[in-house]
C-alpha cells in the first residue's frame, strides 16, 4: 500500500474545514496536537513522544495552512504538501514560538478575526499554560475561542483512503491474534506473552505497537488497562490481549480472549454473551442509527438489569488515535453515517469482581456495517495445556 | 528486578513536594499528565494512549494525594499506595469530572488557598480547555496558578531506584544495538529494519518500544525524526537508529550509526568527531558544572564556527519521559547534581544538507559521570555487504 495520501486528500479536508469555519465565523483554527496537525499536513513522526517542543498549525479561513514549528521539523514537514513553514530554534528559553505564532495569527486573522482551538471532550491544548496565557495577551482577550467542534466533526467520517489504512492495521492484528497459541503457554509470565505478542504484530507488518493492554486471571480479570506483571499463566486463566497497533499512522483497536486449557461453563457463557452483544450492535449499525442505539443493543445483553459498566462505554470511534469521538454511551446521540469507524466493546461482570471484555472494529457503510477486525464468532479459543 | 517502587519512594517524593509547596505558598498541586500523576502514585498504564478521559491528581500541602479519576482506573490505582480514590463514570457528557475535581480542590485548599499547575516549558494541561475554564470559574479567578516549577525540580534528580530502571532500559537497548548486523542488510527496506529492530528490543527485554526514529542515506541523512520509508538500504548508506524503549515505566534514549559496507573517509571523520564531542561533554559532566557547559564542550567540536544546530540542543534530561528538563542549550544554566540523568546528543552537518547525530545516556555521580548506555568509542560499525 502506498504510504501517506495524495495532496488531494488534504485539500479536500481543508475545503470541508473552511466551509465549517465560514459557518462558525472563525478566521482561523489553531491546532497543537499530533492528530490535529497531521490531519491537515500529513506530518507523521513518533517525535511527539518528546514533550519539549510545542508545534502549531494555523488553518486560515482562506488559503493554505501555515506550519509554525520547531526548526528540527522543517525537513520532514517540507516533504509533504505544506509550503508555508515558519520555524524557530526550539527550545528557546526567551520565546518558545509564541511570538512567531502570534504574528502569524494576526497576519491571517486580521485585527479582530476569531481564532478557534479544539476545546471540548477528547481534546487538550498541547502547549505550556503560560504560553497560552501569553498568546491570549498578545492577541487580545477574546480572539481565542472554541473550534465549534470542527475538528471532531471532520475526523468523525473517514475517507476511503483512511479506511484502507485502518483495514490494513486490523488485518495485521487479526493475523497476530491467530498466532497467539504459538506464543502463550501455561507457566509463561504474562510480561513475556506481552513481549512476544508485540513481536508477532511487528512480524505481521505493524509499523509499531502503540498500545497493548491485557490481563490474565482465573476465570476472568480485574481490569483491562493494567500493564503485564510477571505472574505465569496458569490453567483456567482467561488471557485477554487488546492491541492498538499502527500502520502508516492509523490504528486498529480490538482484543481477543483465550482460555488456558479448557474453559469453564461460566467463561464459555460469558464469552458467548459478549459475541451475542457484539453482533447485536453490528446488526443495527447503519446510517441513521445513533451511537446510543448501539450502546443499548449491547447493554441489554451484557448488563440486562441496566446501569453502565465501569469502563463507562461500550465502544468508541477509531482512526488516527486509539480512541476517538463518539462514545457508545447512553448520552451520545451521534447519528451514524457512512465512513464512520467504530469499536464495539461490550464488557461483562462476573462474580468476584472479575470481568471479561470483547472488542471488534467496524466501518459504517451505506446499507449497514462491515467488520474490519476479522470477527469470527464462536467459542473462546483455547491455548493447549500441552 | 522488582517492578514498581516501595511506598517509601512515593512518600519521599511527596515530602519533597510538600516542602517546596510550603516555600511557594501553594495549598495544593493539580496534576493532569501521565508522568506527573505516575510520579506520585505509581499509576502505570499504556491507557493514556486514549485521549478520551481526563485524569487528575490533587497533591495537598498536608496529607496524602487524592486521585480524581475515571472509574475505569479505580482497580489499577487501588493496587498502589494511594487510598483516597474518587471516581466518576467517564466519559460523562454533562460533567466529565470537573465538578468532582472542584469539590476536592476546595476541600483540600480551603476558601482561598492557591493551587499550582505545571505551566512552563515541557508541560501542558491535559484536559479540555473548556473544562479548565469551567474549573477556574468554579474555583474563583485567581486560585489556579503556576506550580513554581516544583514538578520540574522534583523530577530533575532521580533516586537510585529510578536510575536502576533507566540503567536496565539502557542495557536492553545496548544488547539490541549490538545485534543490528543480524537484522540490517543491503536491499532491505528501512521500514523492515525498523520492525526487526523493535523485535530485537522486545526480545532483549523491553516492555515496549515507545520511540524509534532513524534514517538511512548516502553518507548521512536529512533529519532524525522521520518515520521509516520503504527504500532499501544500499552500499554507502549511513543507517541511524534512535530508540526510546521502556522498562517498567522508564526510558532510555540513545542511538547508533552503522555504515552499510565500508564507510567513506568523510563519514569516518564525522563519526570520530561525534565520539570526541560526546567524550568532551562526559569528561566535564560532574556536580557543579552547568548544562550550558556540556553544550559548549560538544558544540566547539561539532560546530567550531559557532551557532546552534537545527535540532536546537545537544542533549537533554531523561527518565519517565523520552525527553525531560534540562536542555543542553546556550541558555540553560541548570547546575548539575548527583542523580541527574542526561543524554549527550551531538549532531554534525555534512555537505549537501546531510547530518549525522550520535547519542549516549549518562548519570551524574558525586565525582563525575557514568555512562548508562554501553558507550564504546571507536569507528562507525559496518554492516557487511555480504
Ordered structural domains, chain B, with CATH: 7-155 (3.40.350.10), 157-383 (3.90.230.10)
Angstrom distance (rounded) from CA B249 to CA B4: 9
Angstrom distance (rounded) from CA A136 to CA B258: 47
DSSP assignment, residue B230? S
Angstrom distance (rounded) from CA A13 to CA A272: 41
Question: Which residues of chain B lie closer than 8 angstroms to A119, CB-CB?
Answer: 128-130, 133
DSSP H helices in chain A: 7-24, 34-41, 74-77, 98-109, 129-139, 150-156, 160-178, 180-183, 190-203, 265-284, 291-302
Following CA atoms B57, B59, B60, B64 in sequence, which dihedral angle do they give, to the nearest 10 degrees?
Answer: 90
Helices and strands (DSSP H and E) totals, chain B:
11, 18
Distances (CA, A) of A68 to A240, B119, B329: 43, 21, 21
Angstrom distance (rounded) from CA B39 to CA B143: 24
| Strand ranges for A130-222 from DSSP E | 144-146, 208-218
Shortest CB distance from B212 goes to which of A118, A208, A312? A208
Who wins on pLDDT, A312 or B318? B318
What are the beta bridge partners of residue A216? A239
Angstrom distance (rounded) from CA B245 to CA B206: 6
Question: Which residues of chain A lie closer than 8 angstroms to B194, CB-CB?
Answer: 207-208
What are the grid coordinates assigned to A303, written together?
Answer: 448488563
What are the beta bridge partners of residue A370? A363
Q: How confident is the model at residue B236 (pLDDT cuts 50, 70, 90)?
A: very high
- B194, closest residue in chain A (CA to CA): A207
CA A6 to chain CA centroid, nearest Å: 22
Task: Report the pLDDT value the prediction gives residue A192, as an integer from 0 to 100.
Answer: 97
Angstrom distance (rounded) from CA A24 to CA A115: 11
| Strand ranges for B232-376 from DSSP E | 237-247, 250-251, 254-260, 315-317, 324-327, 341-344, 347-350, 354-357, 360-365, 368-371
Question: Which residues of chain B lie closer than 8 angstroms to A46, CB-CB?
Answer: 211-213, 225, 227
Residue A129 to residue B122, Cβ atoms within 8 A: no
DSSP 3-state helix, strand, coil percentages of chain B (rounded to 5)?
A: 35, 25, 40
CB A368 within 8 A of CB A166: no
Q: How confident is the model at residue B18 (pLDDT cuts 50, 70, 90)?
A: very high
Angstrom distance (rounded) from CA A104 to CA A97: 11
Question: Which residues of chain A lie closer than 8 angstroms to B322, CB-CB?
Answer: 49-50
Angstrom distance (rounded) from CA B97 to CA B89: 9
Residue A196 to residue B202, Cβ atoms within 8 A: yes
Who wins on pLDDT, B12 or A142? B12
- A97, closest residue in chain B (CA to CA): B121
> Quick check: pTM over 0.90?
yes
CA of A133 to nearest chain B CA: how many angstroms apart? Answer: 10
What are the grid coordinates assigned to B13, written together?
Answer: 517524593
Q: How confident is the model at residue B62 (pLDDT cuts 50, 70, 90)?
A: very high
Spatial CB neighbours of A217, under 8 Å, sequence gap ≥ 6: A237, A238, A354
Residue A117 to residue B129, Cβ atoms within 8 A: yes
What backbone phi and psi angles, to 5 degrees, belong to A41? -120, -25
CA B129 to chain CA centroid, nearest Å: 25
Work out whether the CA dihedral B373, B375, B379, B383 comes out positive or negative: negative
CB B218 within 8 A of CB B234: yes
Task: Report the pLDDT value the prediction gives residue A2, as an integer from 0 to 100.
Answer: 87
CB A91 within 8 A of CB B329: yes
Shortest CB distance from B52 goes to which of A130, A209, A323? A323
* Exposed / middle / buried, residue A150 (Cβ in 10 Å: 0-12, 13-18, 19+): buried
DSSP assignment, residue B46? G
Task: Report the SS3 class of residue B60.
Answer: strand
Angle, helix A265-284 to helix A291-302, in steps of 10 degrees: 160
Give the pairing of strands A250-251 and B56-60: unpaired
Shortest CB distance from B322 goes to which of A50, A94, A227? A50
Mutate to test the interface with B, among A1, A2, A74, A75 (most CBs of B within 10 A): A75
Question: Which residues of chain B lie closer than 8 angstroms to A327, CB-CB?
Answer: 52, 91
Helix (H) or strand (E) run with residue B202 in it: helix B190-203
What are the grid coordinates assigned to B278, written together?
Answer: 560526546
Residue B312 to residue A194, Cβ atoms within 8 A: no
**Angle, alpha carbons A242-A248-A251 (nearest 5°):** 25
CB A198 within 8 A of CB B194: no
Q: How confident is the model at residue B127 (pLDDT cuts 50, 70, 90)?
A: very high
Q: What is the mean pLDDT of chain B?
A: 96
Nearest CA to B72 out of A290, A198, A194, A314 is that of A314
Cα-Cα end-to-end distance for chain B: 40
CB B372 within 8 A of CB B341: yes
Q: How many other C-beta atoms can be found within 10 angstroms of the C-beta atom of residue B263?
A: 21
DSSP assignment, residue B216? E
Work out whether the CA dihedral B67, B72, B77, B82 comes out positive or negative: positive
CB A252 within 8 A of CB A324: no
- B191, closest residue in chain A (CA to CA): A207
Task: Report the pLDDT value the prediction gives residue B312, as an integer from 0 to 100.
Answer: 81
Across the range B59-63, mean pLDDT stands at 98
Residue A198 to residue B208, Cβ atoms within 8 A: yes
What is chain A's pLDDT, residue by residue, as a tens digit (386 residues)? 789 999 999 999 999 999 999 999 999 999 999 999 999 999 999 999 999 999 999 999 999 999 999 999 999 999 999 999 999 999 999 999 999 999 999 999 998 999 999 999 999 999 999 999 999 999 987 799 999 999 999 999 999 999 999 999 999 999 999 999 999 999 999 999 999 999 999 999 999 999 999 999 999 998 889 899 999 999 999 999 999 999 999 999 999 999 999 999 999 999 999 999 999 999 999 999 999 999 999 999 999 887 777 778 999 999 999 999 999 999 999 999 999 999 999 999 999 999 999 999 999 999 999 999 999 889 999 999 97
Q: What is the pLDDT of residues B277-288, one digit of tens each?
A: 999 999 999 999
Task: Report the pLDDT value the prediction gives residue B116, as an integer from 0 to 100.
Answer: 98
What are the grid coordinates assigned to A355, written together?
Answer: 470481568
What are the grid coordinates assigned to A261, written together?
Answer: 486449557
Amino acid at each position: 500500500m502506498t504510504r501517506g495520501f495524495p495532496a488531494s486528500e488534504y485539500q479536500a479536508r481543508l475545503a470541508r474545514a473552511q466551509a465549517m469555519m465560514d459557518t462558525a465565523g472563525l478566521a482561523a483554527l489553531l491546532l497543537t496536537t499530533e492528530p490535529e496537525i497531521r490531519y491537515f499536513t500529513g506530518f507523521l513522526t513518533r517525535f511527539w513522544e518528546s514533550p519539549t517542543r510545542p508545534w502549531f498549525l494555523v488553518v486560515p479561513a482562506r488559503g493554505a495552512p501555515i506550519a509554525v514549528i520547531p526548526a528540527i521539523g522543517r525537513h520532514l514537514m517540507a516533504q509533504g504538501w505544506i509550503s508555508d513553514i515558519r520555524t524557530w530554534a526550539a527550545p528557546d528559553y526567551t520565546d518558545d514560538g509564541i511570538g512567531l505564532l502570534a504574528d502569524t495569527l494576526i497576519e491571517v486573522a486580521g485585527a479582530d478575526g476569531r481564532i478557534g482551538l479544539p476545546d471540548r471532550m477528547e481534546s487538550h491544548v498541547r502547549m505550556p499554560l503560560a504560553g497560552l496565557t501569553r498568546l491570549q495577551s498578545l492577541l487580545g482577550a477574546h480572539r481565542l475561542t472554541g473550534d465549534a467542534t470542527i475538528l471532531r466533526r471532520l475526523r468523525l467520517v473517514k475517507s476511503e483512503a483512511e479506511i484502507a489504512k485502518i483495514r490494513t492495521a486490523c488485518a495485521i492484528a487479526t493475523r497476530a491474534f491467530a498466532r497467539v497459541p504459538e506464543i502463550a503457554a501455561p507457566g509463561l509470565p504474562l510480561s513475556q506473552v506481552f513481549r512476544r505478542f508485540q513481536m508477532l504484530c511487528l512480524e505481521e507488518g505493524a509499523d509499531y505497537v502503540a498500545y497493548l493492554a491485557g490481563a490474565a486471571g482465573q476465570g476472568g480479570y480485574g481490569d483491562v488497562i493494567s500493564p503485564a506483571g510477571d505472574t505465569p499463566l496458569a490453567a483456567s486463566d482467561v488471557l485477554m490481549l487488546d492491541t492498538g497497533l499502527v500502520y502508516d499512522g492509523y490504528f486498529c483497536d480490538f482484543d481477543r480472549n483465550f482460555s488456558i486449557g479448557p474453559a469453564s461453563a461460566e467463561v464459555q457463557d460469558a464469552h458467548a454473551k459478549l459475541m451475542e452483544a457484539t453482533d447485536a450492535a453490528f446488526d443495527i449499525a447503519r446510517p441513521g442509527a445513533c451511537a446510543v442505539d448501539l450502546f443499548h443493543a449491547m447493554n441489554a445483553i451484557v448488563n440486562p438489569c441496566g446501569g453502565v459498566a465501569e469502563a463507562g462505554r461500550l465502544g468508541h470511534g477509531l482512526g488516527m488515535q486509539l480512541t476517538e469521538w463518539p462514545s457508545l454511551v447512553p448520552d451520545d446521540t451521534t447519528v451514524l453515517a457512512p465512513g464512520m469507524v467504530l469499536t464495539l466493546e461490550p464488557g461483562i461482570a462476573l462474580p468476584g469482581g472479575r470481568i471479561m471484555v470483547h472488542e471488534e472494529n467496524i466501518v459504517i457503510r451505506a446499507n449497514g456495517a462491515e467488520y474490519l477486525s476479522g470477527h469470527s464468532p464462536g467459542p473462546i479459543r483455547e491455548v493447549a495445556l500441552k
